[in-house]
């Protein structure tokens, strides 16, 4: 039976951190089942889920405080289970671009939460627009829409929501 551990890492960025964390997981006989890594500003961030036998996961878990100290990372971990299949839901992809304004993420997250739609993944960024230099905001996220929700009505509500806030948006079925 597989056991699972989610590990979050945060610290000053430098070359080789991913290699060192992957080696530690491998040395403990754990597999990296899922991971996300990004550098934000000067900080390295990583979230990964590892899997393995109970003793392999326990070994890795016990090593984490020393690993964090050695690598200069703040590490947190939590035991978990694999996510069950979500029957009766449809994966959709949402993209939004707009002039950067405080509160955009909150408003979009609130729209989907109020509809009972779970956000599965989200990435945001800001950038200077070509030619004008205006600060722009971009959001990309994956959502699971329950089968009980009428898609045409949801799409129309979302587009009205975005038009009211001057957000350029697309909501479309997820394509692998």
Task: Give the model's confidence band at 85: pLDDT under 50 very low, under 70 low, under 90 confident, else very high.
Answer: confident
Residues 139 and 98 in one domain: yes
Q: Which residue blocks in the chain are alpha helix, DSSP H?
A: 17-27, 54-71, 104-114, 151-164
Q: pTM value?
A: 0.82
Domain of residue 168, CATH code: 3.30.70.260
Placement of tokens 């806030």 in the chain: 165
Strand partners, 135: 128
Give residue-wise pLDDT tens across range 52-81.
999 999 999 999 999 999 999 999 999 999
**First and final C-alpha spacing in the chain:** 29
| CB count in 10 Å sphere of residue 164 | 9
Residue 71 belongs to domain spanning: 3-80
- What pLDDT is attached to residue 83? 84
DSSP 8-class letter at 150: -
pLDDT at position 1 over 90: no
Ramachandran area for residue 16 (φ above 0: left; ψ -120 to 50: alpha; else beta): left
- Among 28, 60, 80, where does a domain finish? 80
């Amino acid at each position: 039976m597989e056991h699972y551990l989610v590990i979050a890492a945060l610290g000053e960025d430098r070359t080789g951190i991913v290699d060192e964390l992957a080696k530690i997981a491998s040395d403990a006989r754990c597999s990296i089942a899922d991971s996300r890594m990004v550098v934000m500003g000067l900080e390295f961030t990583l979230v990964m889920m590892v899997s393995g036998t109970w003793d392999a996961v326990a070994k890795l878990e016990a090593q984490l405080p020393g690993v964090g100290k050695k690598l200069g990372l703040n590490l947190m971990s939590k035991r978990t289970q694999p996510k069950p299949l979500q029957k009766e839901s449809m994966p959709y992809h949402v993209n939004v671009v707009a002039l950067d304004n405080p509160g955009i993420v909150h408003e979009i997250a609130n729209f989907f939460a109020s509809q009972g739609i779970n956000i599965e993944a989200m990435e945001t960024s800001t950038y200077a627009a070509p030619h004008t230099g205006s600060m722009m905001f971009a959001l990309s996220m994956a959502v699971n829409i329950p089968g009980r929700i009428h898609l045409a009505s949801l799409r129309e509500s979302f587009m009205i929501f975005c038009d009211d806030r001057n957000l350029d948006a697309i909501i479309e079925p997820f394509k692998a």
